[in-house]
Structure formats: C-alpha cells, structure tokens
Amino acid sequence: MSNRELQLLFGVVYSVLYNCFLSPISKVPGPVVAKVSPFWLMRAVRRGNLNRDIQELHRRYGPVVRLSPTEVSFATIDAQNAIHRPGPSSKTGLFFTKEGTLEAMMGEIIWPAPNLLTATKPEEHQRLKRALQPAFTERSLQSQQPIQRQHAETLIDNVRRSSEKNVFVDLTPHMSRAIWDIVSDLSFGEPLLKDQLAKFERLKTTFCKVSPLLEALQVLLAVPGVQLFSKACIGLVPLLFWLPTNVLPSAQLRKRCERKDLNEDFLTAIMRCRELGISMTDKELQSNASLLVMVGYDTTATSLSSTMNLLLRHPLYLAALKKELQFHFASTEEMSATSLAQLPLLNGCIQEALRLFPPANGKGTNRTSPGAIIDNIYIPRGVNVSADMYTIQRSPLYWAQPDSFRPERWFDNGSGTEFAKDVRASHCPFLLGPRMCIGRAVALQSMRMLLAQIVFCFDLEAAEDYDWEKDVPNSYLWTDYRCMARVRCN
C-alpha cells in the first residue's frame, strides 16, 4: 500500500473515530452514518423525503438528533426560541446567523447582493428590514386589494374555461400563475415578470435535484484544507447545471426604477428608503426586489395548493367552507380582505395547512451556532442547527391529533374542548423573531381571496387519490405537486 493510500486510510479512520467519539457533538444521538458522513442527508434529499425522514429520526432518537457531522436538529419550542429569538447572548455579540449555511452560500450565487433572506450579519439584516418595512404596512395591505381581486377574477375565468374543455382540471398551475402575477404586480406595479415563471420553476427544480451534491459540499466546508475547493465547487453549480440566475432582468428593473408615473407598490416603497436616510445600493435593490417575488411566490403558491389538496381529501370540510362563504356573501364582489379575515373556517383551513405542510421548512430554517447552549446541550461554534418546523408542528407534545387535518382547532379550542391544550406557540410557519417573514400578511391576504373565490364559484371534487403527505417530494422545497379536481360551475 502506497504512502498516499495509507494517508487516505488514516484520514478516513480518524474522521470516523473523531465524529463518533471525540467531536463536541459526538454525544448527540443519531444514525452512525449521519455522524460520520453527509450520506444520510444526501439520501433524504435525493429521495425527496427530507421532512418525513427527519421527523422519523426525532421519533426514534428524541428531541435532538445528529443529521450530519456538522448539523444538529431540534424538535422543541425551547430550541426554536433559542435559535430564532435573540437572547442574553446576543448582547455580547453571539447570534445564530446564516453565515455558513447552504442557503447563504447559494444566495451568493443566485442574487447579486445580500438580501433580507441571505444577509448573515444582524446589523445588515436590520438595515435591509428597515428599508423594506414601508412596503408592508397596514395601509399598503389595503391598497393591494384591487390587484388581488383582479387576478382572482382572472383565475376564476381560467378555471371555468378549463372545466368546459376537460372533465378534470389541475388547479395548481392556475393558482400558481395567479399568485405569480399578484406578487409581480404588487412588487413592480406592472407584470414585469409575466414571462419569468417558467424560469423560476426551472431554478427551483434544478436546485432541489442537485441538493445531494450541495449537502456533501457543505460538510466538506468544515474539513480543514478543502474549504476553498468546496466553495469553488459550489460556485460552479450554476454553470454545471445551467442554473438560471437572472429571474429579474436588471435592464428591465432599471427602466422601471427610472419611471416617474409610478403606482404605489413594493418597489416604490423600498426606493423611498433613501429619502429616509437608509442606504441601499442598486444591487441590493435588485436583489431584494427579486427576493420578494421568488420567495413570496413559492411559499404562497405551495400553501394555496396544499390547502386545496387537503380540502379535496376532506369533502365535509370543503362543503362546510362553501356554506360559510355562501352565508356571508351573495357574490364574490362582496368579498374583501377585512371580511375574509374574520371567517373562522376559511382561516382555520389555511392555518391547518400551514401547520401540516410548512412551506419554509427544509433547510431554510438552518442557522450557524455561535457557541451556545440549546435545550441544555452545548453546541459549539460553526455547527449548523435547526428547530425542525415540520416535526414540531406535528408533535403530540404540542398538538392533539397532530397528523390530522382539523381546521376547527383554530377556533373551537376553548376550555374542555379536544384542542384546548394545543400549544399554538409552536405554530411558526412564517418563522419567528427578527427574521419572521416580512410578507406574511400579504401572503395570507392573497390566499384567502383566491381560495374563497374558487370554493365559492365552483363545486369541487377530488379527481384522484392524491395525498400530499405521501405523493409530494420535499427536499429543500416542496416540488412537483398537483391538485386534480372535478370542477363544476355553480
């Protein structure tokens, strides 16, 4: 055996022994393959079963498990608060940040500058949040209703035409297009990205397909001597896999920014930040404008489809929701954001779908430990940590009938009821703390409007035995989902 082969063998043996017995997180339980290599995570994302596989690990090993040599997952509210809410340690400069996470590294490739999602430094994130906040005030929400109503009407027309041609209609592409157009119009005051939806979907699909490779590269980033190699490989991903990175063309954005006859929209509100003394470069403006569309679209479209899928699988709740809408409204013209927000079953259905299928789970909630104690376990600096949203929101510790679709838990939960002891503080589909989703109110308002109009205007029936729980792949995001229904006009 040559010296090189001996060195390689020694390195492998040492790595296995170190990660199993000597690493500061060696006592965290988990599969041996996860402790010594990225192969467990690579297999989970390749199978499109990441959420369910992590949940199963927690059921087997408990509230804290090892996912890789450099990653630990927690499944408690205390861990969720410790990771996402700044505590006493933040006063000494110790923050759980996104620095070193896969999301931050890919953000450097996809976007031209840091944005609200990828900013790693707390002060940088706070500056960007102050710049974007004016776009999401209560006044802004009220001004968005005509745009949401317009695209809801277009959605109804498109579904009606499809139902005239086909017995069964896949509602997902119609709903997704409506969400894309709403987010684009709200962001730029015009359909600037009308033809970019296919490009974004290709970006999303490709990103998920290369996820096993990215998991391996992330673990290698922690190995001395190969960090530069790993970073170089990550930088080559867009070239090797033809990953589109210009969903928001800079030339079109520049023209839009130069226009003077501007309607009130996200971009207009963000551009005012300079008048308020908040600095933002042109690249940061482009990056954050692109972020609002891409992330705003994907999370909302996914949640709308998952809610509709659950309703089709539970026809009694679908019928009850239709009855609730018909009781309060004689036509869709009477529906407003304010009135829809007050309907208990409509909102219960949406919240329950967000609980069962959180759109932002996967790797988007990962943070890098500054060297801190979580759930009485010391996690050293540089280790990736997450409070697994999917597992927490289905935990029997916090929820009655945790895996069942029961919308009434959100309004029929008084003392003595089945759901009185639900710990609703564990429900954080939009995250919590300083990085809570800035557009959550916009997403909920759009979902209410579109879902209410579809259920009100059509008699819907499931066209196939399609179960989101079993049939929809999930790695970093939910992908390749559909919503086939028999559609009859009222």
Taking CA atoms, 193 is separated from 81, 132, 157, 293, in Å, by 37, 20, 21, 9
Q: Cβ(360)–Cβ(299) under 8 Å?
A: yes
**Residue whose tokens read 């157009």:** 181
Structure-block tokens of residue 469: 């729980």
Binding residues: 437
Binding residues for heme: 437
Amino acid at site 361:
N
Which residues, including other chains, have CB under 8 Å from residue 262's CB and lie 6 or more apart?
Answer: 189, 268
Amino acid at site 354:
L
Using DSSP, state whether 423 is helix, strand or coil: coil
Amino acid at site 435:
R
Please choose, from the candidates 323, 324, 328, 346, the residue with its C-alpha nearest in 3D space to the C-alpha of residue 444.
Answer: 346
- What is the Cα Rg of the chain in Å? 23
Q: Cβ(150)–Cβ(323) under 8 Å?
A: no
Q: How far apart are CA 142 and CA 137, in angstroms?
A: 9
Q: Cβ(54)–Cβ(390) under 8 Å?
A: yes
Residue 173 CB-density burial (10 A; 0-12 exposed, 13-18 middle, 19+ buried): middle
Structure-block tokens of residue 247: 């969903």
Handedness of CA 437, 442, 445, 448 (dihedral sign): negative
